[in-house]
Structure 1
């Protein structure tokens, strides 16, 4: 597997475009389009929030009930959530505009929105945006990068990843982009993620690969504990790599799953590191667990602890907060057997051994915790299972951003 530069346009046959439609933001792009030269197999995972935005319902119908998809249209600024029948009609009108402009089936057009909940989208601006983007579709990496920028809301950087590998003597590419910075506590995936691949694979296995992979990637991310109404990850496969179709769980399938996992992991980590107001990516690894479920529960409990997140912001090795968060997680373990380490580019230090302090150097710990990516590793000495969760520190700016988000 080779890590390459790129995102949604890295795979063969995929193009992207973006435009400034003036939906909510002024002076910046706020709509993106992803298009495949040929129809694709489509898979998706969606929010578990009972309150689901109109685009989520629209996309679920296409992914579950239609044989193919070919276009994704996304806007930022307004979420089209809690908008009733008018919101769903907006999805339909957007798809019809794309169908007319691109000469595709409207049932092959996926839509996504992100931004303020409760506002109605200006349908005319969306349709005009679709018409503006269609002639600008381009398969270049730059076009993909511009699309990644267009879907940002409070994100500070665009988020992309791509890899290549071989199946049956053919080069296969997986690439993707995502956005997410706040209202991030997915129970399936992140706010919005779009992954494209030219692999030839059955629709059933494509869905299974994605559904399984989100458990170890997007499901392990938390910024603030809030599960969005719009969470959507879409995976399109157009088969243009020309490999023999993957129809069973063989070595080719496992190679694809490995590549998909790399892309999704990188995107998930980019979301965590770009959490609203964050200054550091906070990674929590649980090792020595007796089951995967136990490790997942413990790691997510620590990464979502507000007190621990605040300590990471202060570069404070307040390990008691971590042990406390593990203790109320609901997972059973012996706190008197836990070893805890902090690690970053500045080094690694053992903070506690068998549940008590090692007498570590506070200065050394502060130095390690002062990097922009920090890892806490807890060994609970019960087995050989592991899990990793990603989050970020909790800063003053998080409150500032969300106190006046609508205004």
Structure 2
């Protein structure tokens, strides 16, 4: 596996475009003053592709997510149309009709079946789409489609809202003498605490897994069911393991299209080739997920929270999320304060079983096995405070928590909470362009 250029256009048989059609008008939130930034993206496969998807489990679901779920249930897609600047969420029947129009207009412009067009939106909630602009944008994007990396980058920029930079990745690997490629783009900076499932239904048990969107393409041929299984597992280990502000969006969507242009016979879940594909997919999703956290709104520090020794995975996850989403913990990270008392407090009110006298807490450099322990068995160690401060001073570090009650663990990629985040999101009602999504 090696990294290559081109993101979603790196695999054979895919084209992309990003155009400006003035979807984010003044008064629809952050980014109104960005000028003609591309705000509508189009990704197209030359042939029908197997499709898999993961969707928000928020009980309030945006119209495009509902349309996408229908397409994914059918299992075949050929295009993705996505806009930024407007979430098309909480827009009622008109919003759902508009999402279907986006699919129909895309199909008309490309000569496709509208049932094979996926739709995604991101931006401010509760505002109807300016559909004449959207129609014009779709027609322009269809004419602007191209196969080079510059076209993929335009699509990546078109889905950005409060992001400061596009997020792209692509890999190439060889199996039995044949070359395969997988690429992806993503967006996300605020309203980031994804919890996605294949159907959008919230599981009764804990899932294994501003809006985050991710679109992935591959020229490998993969049977529909294992494709969904692979995406479910990849999202569980990546996008569903990140948090910026603890807010799950109404629009979270991850889509994967496999068009088979590489020429292989479709892989089943039992084939070795499929397992190689899974590893590449997981790496691509992990890379994009970390880009989202690193580009979080106002983020100054990124912290990997690792929990060990929980009674079960459910409790390990609960402990990690309680710590990662605590406003007090996150502000101490921003201040460079190794305040383990706040961490202990968050563990205590989490849904995990915690015994104070068994808890260990420490800090480490990313990927290091050397942990500087500030708490052992519920009591502070003799490590000097200044040494602990140095451990949490870098822009990225790891927090290690041992509950010492079992063998289960969990990991979460989190961010600090800064004045910049508050300033960005509070807005000013006297300046509609300053209001967030």
Does the pair score TM above 0.5? yes
SS in 1 for 2:350: coil
Q: Does 1:101 align with 2:124?
A: no
Distance 1:252 1:298 in 2: 36
Q: Which residue of 2 aligns with 1:364?
A: 387
| SS at 2:261 equivalent | coil
User: Alignment partner of 1:8: what SS?
Assistant: helix
User: Could you say which residue in structure 2 is the equivalent of 1:155?
Assistant: 163
Matched residues in 1 for 2:150 and 2:402: separation? 43
2:435 corresponds to which residue? 406
User: How far apart in 1 are the matches of 2:12 and 2:376?
Assistant: 51
Counterpart residue number, 1:84: 92
In 1: Cα distance, 2:362 partner to 2:5 partner = 33
Structure 2 CA distance for aligned equivalents of residues 120 and 400 of structure 1: 26
Aligned to 1:4: 4
Cα displacement string for residues 130-174 of structure 1 (whole angstroms, at most 9, x for unaligned residues): 111122212222221221111111111211222233334322222
Counterpart Cα distance in 1 of 2:393 and 2:6: 30
1:183 equivalenced with 2:191 (yes/no): yes
Match of 2:23 in 1: 23
Instruction: Please identify, of 76-85 and 212-221, the stretch whose mean Cα deviation from structure 2 is larger.
Output: 212-221
Paired residues of 1:40 and 1:238 also in contact (CA < 8 A):
yes
Equivalent position of 2:275 in the other structure: 254
Number of the residue aligned with 1:39:
48
Deviation at 1:354, TM superposition (A): 2.1
User: Given the two structures, how large is their TM-score scaled by the length of structure 1?
Assistant: 0.94
Tell me what 1:308 maps to.
Answer: 329
**Local SS of the residue matching 2:333:** helix
Specify the alignment match of 2:122 in structure 1. Answer: 114
Taking structure 1 as reference, are residues 254 and 386 closer, same or farther at Cα in structure 2, changes over 3 Å only?
Answer: farther
In structure 1, the partner of 2:252 is: 231
Q: Retained in 1: the 8 A contact 2:52–2:75?
A: no
TM-score by length of 2: 0.88
Instruction: Give the superposition deviation at 1:336.
Output: 2.2
CA contact (8 A) 2:180 2:218 kept: yes
Q: Deviations over 1:365-396 (max 9, x none)?
A: 22332222121011233444332101110011
Query: Please, which moves more after superposition, 75-84 or 280-289?
Result: 280-289
Q: 1:381 aligns with which of 404, 422, 426?
A: 404
- For residues 297-327 of structure 1, the C-alpha deviation after alignment (integer angstroms, 9 at most, x for no partner) is 2212211111110010001000111122122
- Quickly say closer, same or farther: Cα 1:243–1:386, change in 2 above 3 A: farther
Distance in 1 of aligned mates of 2:100 and 2:281: 30
How far the C-alpha of 1:115 sits from its partner, in A, is 0.4
Q: Whole-Å Cα distance in 1 between the matches of residues 244 and 251 of structure 2?
A: 16
Gaps of 5+ in 1: none
Secondary structure of residue in 1 paired with 2:49? strand
CA contact (8 A) 1:199 1:237 kept: yes
* Structure 1 moving runs of 4+ over 4 Å: 345-348
User: How many Å separate the matches in 1 of 2:267 and 2:70?
Assistant: 24
CA deviation vs aligned residue, 1:211-250 (integer Å, no higher than 9, x gap): 2332222112122221111111111111112233112333
SS at match of 2:9: coil
Shift of 1:6: 4.0
* From 132, 138, 141, the counterpart of 2:149: 141
Offset at residue 359 of structure 1 (A): 2.0
The equivalent of 1:127 in structure 2 is 135
Q: 1:5 to 1:296 in 2, by over 3 A?
A: farther
Please point out which of 48, 63, 70 is paired with 2:57: 48
Q: C-alpha separation between the residues in 2 aligned to 1:291 and 1:142? A: 46
Give the SS at the match of 1:247: coil
Aligned residues between the structures: 406
Where structure 2 has 5 or more consecutive residues not aligned to the other structure, the ranges are: 25-31, 198-210, 428-433
Contact 1:167-1:243 at 8 Å conserved across structures: no
The alignment yields a C-alpha RMSD, in angstroms, of: 2.0
Change (3 A) 1:4 1:380: farther
State the alpha-carbon separation in 1 of the partners of residues 3 and 360 from structure 2: 34
Measure the CA separation in 2 of the matches of 1:164 and 1:290: 39
Q: Which residue of 1 aligns with 2:372?
A: 349
Match of 2:341 among 320, 330, 340: 320
